[in-house]
């Protein structure tokens, strides 16, 4: 059985949804960030990066959300979560998820975790101020260029969709109204109607 280490409000939600969409047999293991459990010796033995998600498989531990999403899609091909037989289309999926991971997520982190990049309180405050502007700019690009509709890649639902849903869910927290991006907002609402998403949210709320 797969074992997913996660914490609510993090990008681990995307992997959780993908596992549910795939019909995978998995166990959800919370890592309590409120008590710094991600820095405990027990968790560092699983993921030395002290981040979530981490996915324990029969071959070892995998980390980094884009890699985990691809692993789920390839491990459960019957779920059709990625265009596995089309190298170009699969690269497009990877490019989108990598953009969310390496650019959008990092921009958002500058608002809450400026201490990773600076020690000066003034610099941290400046990052906190600027981060929502950068995040909004990234979502303007997604809205204009990278959301084909009804799903990210067009008619086919893929691992891009729970990833975008997760990151778009952070907008309100960062003081950005999702309605500024009508296609993103419609996608977010559409995702909320999927049975797998509803099941995952119910699990997290229990």
- Segments making up each domain of the chain, as ranges: 2-80+198-205, 87-193
* Predicted local confidence at residue 76, as pLDDT: 98
* Predicted local confidence at residue 55, as pLDDT: 98
Show the tokens assigned to 92. 């497009």
Q: Can you tell me the distance from the alpha carbon of 168 to that of 178, in angstroms, rounded to the nearest whole number?
A: 7
Q: Can you tell me the distance from the alpha carbon of 124 to that of 103, in angstroms, rounded to the nearest whole number?
A: 18
Q: What is the pLDDT of residues 39-96, one digit of tens each?
A: 999 999 999 999 999 999 999 999 999 999 999 999 999 999 999 999 999 999 999 9
Q: Determine contact, residues 181/136, Cβ cutoff 8 Å.
A: no
87-193: which CATH number, 1.20.1050.10, 1.10.10.10, 3.90.120.10, 3.40.50.2020? 1.20.1050.10
User: Which CATH topology does 2-80+198-205 take?
Assistant: Glutaredoxin (3.40.30)
Show the tokens assigned to 63. 């980390």
Q: Can you tell me the distance from the alpha carbon of 4 to that of 151, in angstroms, rounded to the nearest whole number?
A: 25
The stretches of the chain forming alpha helices (DSSP H) are: 12-22, 41-44, 65-75, 87-99, 105-112, 121-145, 160-168, 182-192, 195-205
Residues in contact with 162: Cβ distance below 8 Å, sequence separation at least 6, in sequence order: 13, 14, 15, 17, 18, 21, 69, 191, 197
Place of tokens 């309590």: 32
pTM to 2 decimals?
A: 0.95
* Predicted local confidence at residue 119, as pLDDT: 74
Give yes or no for residue 97 having a pLDDT over 70.
Answer: yes
Q: What is the pLDDT of residues 107-154, one digit of tens each?
A: 888 777 766 776 788 777 777 887 889 999 999 999 999 999 999 999
* Predicted local confidence at residue 114, as pLDDT: 65
Q: Calculate the dihedral angle through the C-alpha atoms of 34, 35, 41, 42, rounding to the nearest 10 degrees.
A: -80
Q: Is 151 exposed, middle or buried (0-12, 13-18, 19+ CB in 10 A)?
A: middle
Write the Ramachandran bin of 135: left for phi over 0, alpha for psi from -120 to 50, otherwise beta: alpha
């Amino acid at each position: 059985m797969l074992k997913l280490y996660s914490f609510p409000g993090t990008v681990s939600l995307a992997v959780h949804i993908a596992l549910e969409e795939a019909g995978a047999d998995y166990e959800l293991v919370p890592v309590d960030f409120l008590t710094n459990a991600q820095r405990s010796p027990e968790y560092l033995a699983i993921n030395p990066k002290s981040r979530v998600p981490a996915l324990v498989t029969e071959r070892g531990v995998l980390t980094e959300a884009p890699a985990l999403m691809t692993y789920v899609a390839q491990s459960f091909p019957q779920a059709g979560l990625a265009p596995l037989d089309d190298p170009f289309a699969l690269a497009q999926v990877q490019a989108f998820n990598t953009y969310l991971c390496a650019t959008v997520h990092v921009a958002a982190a500058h608002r809450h975790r400026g201490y990773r990049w600076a020690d000066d309180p003034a610099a941290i405050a400046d990052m906190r101020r600027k981060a929502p502007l950068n995040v909004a700019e990234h979502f303007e690009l997604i809205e204009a260029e990278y959301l084909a509709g009804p799903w990210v890649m067009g008619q086919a639902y893929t691992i891009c969709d729970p990833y975008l849903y997760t990151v778009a869910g952070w907008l309100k927290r960062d003081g950005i109204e999702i309605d500024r991006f009508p296609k993103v907002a419609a996608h977010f609402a559409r995702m909320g109607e999927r049975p797998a998403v509803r099941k995952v949210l119910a699990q997290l709320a229990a």
